[in-house]
Structure 1
Amino acid sequence: MYDWANSAYLLVISSTLFPIYFNGVTRAAFESETVVFFGSEITNTVLYSYAVAAAFLIVAFISPWLSGMADYGGKKKFFLKLFTYLGAVSTAGLYWFEGSNIEYGIVCSILAGVGYSGSLVFYNSYLPEITTESEYDKLSAKGYAYGYIGSVLLLLISFAMIIMHKSLGFEAESEVVRLSFLLVGLWWFGFAQYSFFYLPDNKDRLKKTDNLFLKGVKELKIVFQSLKNLRAMKVYLLAFFFYSAGVQTVMHLAAIFGEKELRLEASKLIVTITIIQLVAIAGAYMFAAISKKYNNGISILSMLIIWIGICGYAYVLQTEYQFYGLAVVVGLVMGGIQSMSRSTFSKLIPDNTIDNTSYFSFYDVVEKLSIVVGTFSFGFIEQWTGSMRNSTIALMLFFVVGVGLLLYSRIHKTSQTSYV
């Protein structure tokens, strides 16, 4: 249910309405795609790419300390709530972003991103605590499926409001779009309460006399030392870094690519992203089934080969119908790659581990840094070459390196019960 709650942010804010809205209102406010941000001129899409990178860089820096403290101090749920509320309030705050106040909009979007990605450090670490290893793949896929359904539902509600904005008493579509940002914040805040009620507190480990910051450092040191003896986990994390850079960049910047390179209307982009989300539900379950029949390595490798093809096709596509077709394929592998990556890492954690959060902190830091590298590279290459299409080639290289490292890890030749 937390996937149901927070995925509305990922879809409506990160992937569809906000990027499209951001492009439109900043272009109108500055009468150009070049905007002025704290006195400096920069292309609006490049600025947005850098803002996404900044949010994840902040989380990558602070989450290891927080996760160590959460493990030792029994504050996992506390930090999950803290980041959730930061993200939900900041998302709702985007209601007051109108284009000319671009600094305010970027700050709110960065804080919302920090809240979203920061909460996942603690949320993901609950997986080994609430089910058995044999159910990791199934439950991880179910979580993503719930997220896709919930987020699509809210997106469709927002889309309907945009279409009927005059009937609802709004003069401009932008007013309803801003209202959608407020709804996402409330949705995230409200549905998260279900998870907060049922997830365990882990307060039995709390020692009030301890310096939790120092204990957090100690936890991280222990995990880092254990990685030296876990070859499969080390290589897998490196592979995950590269291919996640590609996956997450596509997720966060696909709408901007369609709007700028193909000049697709907002309504068509919303329909496209909705298709991706719906197909992703089937993809999550399909690749979970492949993993069950073979293993996680085979499942992930097959998806990465498809991702390489996606990037190559994105470089040459010209029409909106080609974009729609590509969206179907993206959706198929997007759901699978996310759920399988999370469950695969769960299987690589040693069986006698108590402090799952610290291990998942490394996983999440790797993911955050990969997003920083991916989105920054995408924006930098566009700024350098003047075309987003060239950025898709960089994403392809990320996937190629990920395939090579995953093959080197040999987890595709290892039984599900002997990863560690």
Structure 2
Amino acid sequence: MTLEKGNKKTIRGWIFYDWANSVYNLVISSAIFPIFYDTVTTQAFLRHYNQQHGLQLEEVPEGVNVVVDFFGTQLSPSVLMSFTLSFSFLIVSILSPMLSGVADLTGSKKKFMKFFCYLGAFSCISLYWFGQAPLEVGMLSVFLASIGFWNSLVFYNAFLPEIAAPEDHDRISASGYTMGYLGSMLLLIVCLGIVMGIGKEYTNVSFILVGVWWIGFSQITYRVLPNNVYNRPKSSRVLMNGFRELKKVLKEFRTQPKLKRFLNSFFFFNTGVQTVMLMAVLYAKREIFAGKYEDQATTGLIIAILLIQLLGALGAFLLSRISTVVGNVRSLLIVVAVWIPLCVSAYFLKTPFGFYILAAGVGLVMGGTQALSRSTYSKFLPETEDHASYFSFYDVTEKVGIVFGTFFFGLMEYLTNDMRSSILSVIFFFAMGWLLLLFVPRDRTGRKSDYDEQLTTDNQTLDYFK
């Protein structure tokens, strides 16, 4: 089966994977599971604390820090979560370039995409038993779900330059993110109905729904995306030849200064975006919805997440329109600059109302930042058939950044015993990303400019970047 560029049926099917997989990002990473995780670990700590002191307290005493035992080490639940996610992204950053070389060599992007999709979905389903099994087993499910989700995206994103022309990338990428926001919001409402209508003791049913939704709707995508787009022949010694394929692409990549400059910037600002997405709910539950606001925590956090989803879809659409007027890089400069005051305000936030205002701001810039980053990278690619390998550089840049972001978020809290100090590390990433974006050559269209031609042929410039 060959792939026709611009085929509407193929594009709609590709977009539908955002609808399928984004429920992981919302329900598991951002909304239901972080609240469930914090509740389960807090209750476990309280039971141990009561046993140890011969008490029957129903709440953790003021001034007592909640810790969990993980392989004999005492850690804050938020520190454990940030370290677990950091390690999962480290594994993804090692696996994705290796496997993408194999995928390009053998034309098996869809097979790898399906494998990691199913790994992530079944790991989400296994979270149903989180809290009943030892904590180490529960965190393994978190770890594998993260690997499955993020590795599947490497191969999914690699189809974008194959299904559409560069001038359509912004619109299609934004449509994908919009579908993802809307689909995940729909399932979140269903999960919220279970939690608030039937009872909180059924919260873990949400994790089964995520896995079933992810597997079920992804079949729409798999029906239209072909294997082996470029009819690559079968090869023996696949892994070794995959490394050779990656080495070849790396050599080509070094002659693409615009691509490298963009990835340098993307490393920093996307680290900030992903760290906010992964840690925002735990931060809000601990620092905003605590004490006198604790009874509002579940409802308040879900309202904030819904705000982010609604405005995220709007933000992705608006920024794709803005990019057609001022260009991709200028649009990213605008939106990354907005993240910095949002993080500063998060540091000083004290009330739920302020958090809702912040959530609205985050929603508007989050969807646009993600969608435009993906489409900008695809536009900057040279003419090539090795899209999975090229997108593995994008993916590795993203995942290594998240390793740093989540690790330093947890480390700042670990060292200072104050989660608010972790926000400072996030501000640094956005500021550095914005500064490095200034050095990315740009024109109004997002297509190759005259300056790009100069960069490609200027030997002194190339030597500088090597």
TM-score category, normalised to shorter length: over 0.9
The answer to whether the Cα contact below 8 Å between 2:89 and 2:147 also exists between their aligned partners in 1 is yes
The answer to whether the Cα contact below 8 Å between 1:69 and 1:212 also exists between their aligned partners in 2 is yes
- 2:210 aligns with one of 184, 187, 192: 184
SS across alignment from 1:208: coil
Task: Measure the CA separation in 2 of the matches of 1:312 and 1:6.
Answer: 31
- Residue 415 of structure 1: CA displacement? 4.3
SS across alignment from 1:80: helix
The answer to whether the Cα contact below 8 Å between 1:72 and 1:205 also exists between their aligned partners in 2 is no
The answer to whether the Cα contact below 8 Å between 1:26 and 1:100 also exists between their aligned partners in 2 is no
The answer to whether the Cα contact below 8 Å between 1:25 and 1:99 also exists between their aligned partners in 2 is no
The answer to whether the Cα contact below 8 Å between 2:79 and 2:411 also exists between their aligned partners in 1 is yes
- 2:446 aligns with one of 394, 416, 419: 416
Structure 2 residue 38 is matched with structure 1 residue 8 = no
SS across alignment from 1:36: strand
Task: Measure the CA separation in 1 of the matches of 2:120 and 2:380.
Answer: 30
The one-letter code sitting in structure 1 at the alignment partner of 2:131 is: E
Gaps of 5+ in 2: 1-15, 47-64, 453-466
Name the structure 2 match of 1:169: none
Task: Measure the CA separation in 2 of the matches of 1:222 and 1:282.
Answer: 40
The answer to whether the Cα contact below 8 Å between 1:29 and 1:99 also exists between their aligned partners in 2 is no
The answer to whether the Cα contact below 8 Å between 1:74 and 1:203 also exists between their aligned partners in 2 is yes
1:246-286 deviation per Cα after TM superposition (whole angstroms, max 9, x unaligned): 00000011100110001251121011011101100110011
SS across alignment from 2:68: strand
SS across alignment from 1:98: coil
Higher gyration radius (CA): 2
Identity among equivalent positions (%) equals 44
Q: TM-score, normalised by structure 2?
A: 0.86
Name the structure 2 match of 1:348: 380
Superposition pairs of residues 173-322 of structure 1, within 5 angstroms = 173=200, 175-202=201-228, 205-262=231-288, 263=290, 265-322=297-354
The answer to whether the Cα contact below 8 Å between 2:108 and 2:227 also exists between their aligned partners in 1 is yes
The answer to whether the Cα contact below 8 Å between 2:98 and 2:243 also exists between their aligned partners in 1 is yes
- Residue 100 of structure 1: CA displacement? 6.3
SS across alignment from 2:195: helix
The answer to whether the Cα contact below 8 Å between 2:31 and 2:305 also exists between their aligned partners in 1 is yes
Task: Measure the CA separation in 2 of the matches of 1:21 and 1:100.
Answer: 15
Name the structure 2 match of 1:27: 42
Task: Measure the CA separation in 2 of the matches of 1:33 and 1:114.
Answer: 27
Task: Measure the CA separation in 2 of the matches of 1:255 and 1:113.
Answer: 17
Gaps of 5+ in 1: 167-172
Task: Measure the CA separation in 2 of the matches of 1:99 and 1:38.
Answer: 17
Q: Which runs of 4+ in 1 moved over 4 A?
A: none
1:80-119 deviation per Cα after TM superposition (whole angstroms, max 9, x unaligned): 0000000000000000112662111100000000000000
- Residue 410 of structure 1: CA displacement? 2.9
Task: Measure the CA separation in 2 of the matches of 1:203 and 1:402.
Answer: 35
- 2:149 aligns with one of 100, 103, 116: 116
- Shift of the 209–282 alpha-carbon distance from structure 1 to 2, 3 Å rule, reads closer
